[in-house]
Amino acid sequence: MGFASCCCQAPASPSIWHSSPLLGTDWCRVCTKILPAFCKLSNEFKNLTFVYADIDECPETTQSIRYTPTFHFYRDGERVDEMLGAGEERLHDRLWLHS
């Protein structure tokens, strides 16, 4: 499905949206370290939509985020999982679980 650099609005068809957004910010060193792996994994898991939302640029959709990076996993428009923190292998395993 691809990768979007910032998504400040919900997709038009949430009933078919299977996604893995990364919620972070450019001043977070852990976020900037995991972002290249997140982009690489978007090529491996083509059935998922990968979204990076900067919590400073999209405050209306990220106001409940208390830890960066945070990964949310959605299926059929409903959040089904959350992962706090980074780790490429851990992220890969979670993506595999939800793909």
Measure the CA–CA gap between 86 and 22, rounded to whole angstroms: 10
**Bond into 21 cis (ω within 30):** no
pLDDT in tens, 23-64: 898 899 999 999 999 999 999 998 888 888 888 888 887 888
> Quick check: is 39 catalytic?
no
Is 8 among the catalytic positions?
A: no
Q: What is the pTM of this model?
A: 0.79
Determine the 3-state secondary structure of 5 from DSSP.
Answer: coil
* Catalytic entry in 6, 7, 8, 31: 31
The secondary structure of 23-69 as a DSSP string is EE-TT-HHHHHHHHHHHHHHHH-TTSEEEEEETTT-HHHHTT--SSS
Q: Which of 6, 7, 8, 28 is catalytic?
A: 28
Pick the CATH number of 2-98 from 3.40.30.10, 3.30.200.20, 3.40.50.9100, 3.30.70.330: 3.40.30.10
